[in-house]
Chains A and B, each alone.
Chain A
């Protein structure tokens, strides 16, 4: 008889030493999780708590040199909350996030539905092409779009000009009224593939029988989408909203590469403010940490609101 690899449970008593070494399932679970827990503590929890510590202390170059950080209580928070530039940065961040996340959600669902159509032969190519922007590093993305938007030589103006849609070039990122939205487009271009992937994966999980039943009942495409697809996509939409909102709140690279906060303060966003406070002269790291914490609190509150509102409705 061939050995089929079925484990044989021996009825013989285990040696006493082996019995002593065998861990209970609970202890084994803890032991197996310890490396992950230790890694996450080191690379995630420690910086987060250390940033909280810094936000309550005066930390600039002189303090870093001395190695002594005087406790200042809520002073750093008081300073940023009374700084009009920080409040403007928060407002700009909210506008940027609302604009980019809304567009991203709508486009992600629409494009995922399109590439889900198996009878369209270009679907596979489209799926591959859609993923490409996700492979572009954020800074490179910002630089690419700087050329796209360039006032004198940019492709965007050239295309619009060629089609007769404009008669004079538009200064997309140099005009304070368009700069923030112009900044959102490259960000969307870079992050949209991730959202499409998630929605597309969720679409694969919807049973075709539901659509067949709806067909028999005479439901049209719009009704099928509204009463079957959308409700079943809600969990993934909630996940995408939480992820994309938190990432949009932390947008930085495109700002660095394209506008550096300008023109004027039109594209000062919260992460740019934290960066400028912490890593540009005079390196006020305590204030920068406090601003990052305020940002984290806002993102946390919005994430809780999403989960509460959307998940509750699902349940």
Chain B
């Protein structure tokens, strides 16, 4: 039984009105990231290595979108999905009205499994994506601008945020992992007690690390992230995909519009 048929069963059996809550709010990562991840999970990409789009007729991205649209058309997906971001989706999910939330690596587990914040605390589990579990993983990085007025202080700030303290630990990264359940690009942090023990109240750290270790950087799926037109194109993508998800246009029209938008934004 695949995920959409199990969701349909949950609905018809009266277990849940809207079994799926997608993270599909407007944003650079939210709605686009959900489409990227599901496409990647099915073996597709948005652009090949040469930068040619992979959104044409029969493409994995297009077929994935058709499936995604169907979850809304069939009433399996919660309409509120279109307005939730990472944290707000976790808070909405905590209300217990949905069965599945995602695709999402571990954002918000510290909310949905926190008894102080969530009526369903302790009941939410992390599962790998379907099939071979292909997924996307990102770590955010700090930048130091060479045009800083005071380079010495900027360097000190960067060291404070991303560097080691005198005891040799990445103190700030560990604090973020412990307090906000934010992963780190430093392997020593991901294998430290801040993660392996600190995340236990919220999820299964071993499972999360297993998923994390197999994740691919988003640039592999959508290499337009390296291009200056990626952001205005993402704006258009947000609009067109939301139109498709709300039934204003078909998934095919959406993909055609998103393809046309590539040239538009490149021109401008």
Interfacial residues, chain A to chain B (CB-CB below 8 A)? 65, 79, 85, 146, 150-153, 171, 173-176, 258-265, 268, 276, 280-282
From B92, B228, B240, B268, contact of A264 by CB (8 A): B240
Question: In the assembled complex, how far is the CB of residue A157 from the closest CB belonging to chain B, in whole angstroms?
Answer: 11
Q: Is the CB of A174 within 8 A of B26?
A: no
Chain A residues near B240 (CB-CB < 8 A): 264
Given A153-B95, A176-B246, 20 extra CB contacts under 8 A: A79-B268, A85-B239, A146-B83, A152-B78, A152-B97, A171-B79, A173-B83, A174-B83, A174-B246, A176-B243, A176-B248, A261-B239, A262-B26, A262-B242, A263-B243, A264-B243, A264-B248, A265-B243, A268-B239, A282-B229
- C-alpha spacing A237/B18, complex, angstroms: 48
B78 & A259 in contact (Cβ 8 Å cutoff): no
Q: Which residues of B contact A264 (CB under 8 A)?
A: 239-240, 242-243, 246, 248
Question: Residue among A263, A280, A282 with the most chain B CB within 10 A?
Answer: A263
Tell me if A151 and B242 are in contact (CB < 8 A): no
In the complex, whether B25 has a CB less than 8 A from a CB of chain A is yes
Q: Could you tell me if A262 and B82 are in contact, using CB atoms closer than 8 angstroms?
A: yes
Residue of B nearest to A82 (CB): B268
Evaluate whether A65 and B147 lie within 8 angstroms (CB atoms) in the complex, with A171-B79, A282-B232 already known: yes
Q: Which residue of B lies closest to A62 (CB)?
A: B228
Question: Does B57 lie at the interface of the complex (its beta carbon under 8 Å from any beta carbon of A)?
Answer: no
Residues of B within 8 A of A150 (CB): 80
Q: Is B67 an interface residue when CB atoms closer than 8 A count as contact?
A: no
Contact B78–A260 (Cβ < 8 Å): no
- What are 26 A-B contacts defined by CB distance under 8 Å? A85-B239, A152-B92, A152-B95, A152-B97, A153-B95, A174-B79, A174-B246, A176-B243, A176-B248, A259-B83, A260-B25, A260-B26, A260-B83, A261-B239, A262-B26, A262-B239, A263-B245, A264-B239, A264-B240, A264-B246, A264-B248, A268-B239, A280-B231, A280-B235, A282-B231, A282-B232
- Closest chain A CB from B245 CB (angstroms): 8
In angstroms, Cα B126 to Cα A159, docked, is 36
- The residues of A that contact B92 with a CB separation of less than 8 Å are 152
Contact A262 B231 (CB under 8 A): no
A282 and B147 contacting across the interface, CB-CB below 8 Å: no
What are the residues of chain A within 8 A of B25 when measuring CB–CB? 260
**Smallest CB–CB gap between B56 and chain A, Å?**
22
Q: Name the CB-closest residue of B to A277.
A: B232
Which parts of B12-60 form the interface with A (CB within 8 Å)?
18, 25-26, 28
The interface residues of chain B lying within 8 Å CB-to-CB of A146 are: 83
Determine the residue in chain B with the shortest Cβ distance to A259: B83
In the bound assembly, the distance between CA atoms of A268 and B78 in angstroms comes to 23
Most chain A C-beta atoms within 10 Å of own C-beta, residue among B232, B238, B243, B246: B246
State A146–B80 Cα separation when bound (angstroms).
11
Question: How far apart are the CA atoms of A59 and B19 in the complex, in Å?
Answer: 46
**Closest residue of A by beta carbon distance from B31:** A262
Residue in A152, A171, A259 with the greatest tally of chain B CB atoms within 10 Å: A152
When C-beta atoms are compared, the residue in chain A nearest to B21 turns out to be: A152
A113 to B92, CA, bound (A): 43
Which residue of B28, B80, B235, B238 contacts A174 across the interface (Cβ within 8 Å)?
Answer: B80
Cα(A101)–Cα(B228), bound, Å? 40
B82 A263 Cβ-Cβ under 8 A: yes
A282 with B228: CB separation less than 8 A: yes
CB distance from B106 to the nearest CB of A (A): 24
In the complex, what distance in Å separates the CA atom of A41 from the CA atom of B147?
31
The complex places the Cα of A174 from the Cα of B240 at a distance, in Å, of 14
- Give the contacting residue for A281; candidates B83, B97, B147, B231; CB below 8 A: B231
CB-based contact B78/A151 at 8 Å: yes
Which residues on B sit within 8 Å (CB–CB) of A85?
Answer: 239
Task: State in angstroms the CA–CA spacing of A55 and B229 once bound together.
Answer: 21
C-alpha spacing A261/B27, complex, angstroms: 11
B95 x A276 contact (CB < 8 A): no
Assembly CA distance A280 to B25 (angstroms): 16
State the CA gap A260–B79 with chains docked (Å).
15
State the CA gap A175–B25 with chains docked (Å).
14
Task: Indicate if the CB atoms of B83 and A262 lie closer than 8 Å.
Answer: yes
Knowing A261-B26, A264-B242, A265-B243, the reply to whether A151 touches B147 (Cβ < 8 A) is: no
Q: Are A175 and B246 in contact (CB under 8 A)?
A: yes
What's the Cα separation between A262 and B95 when bound, in Å?
24
List the A residue with the shortest CB-CB distance to B268.
A79
CB distance from A256 to the nearest CB of B (A): 11
* A283: nearest chain-B partner, CB-CB: B231
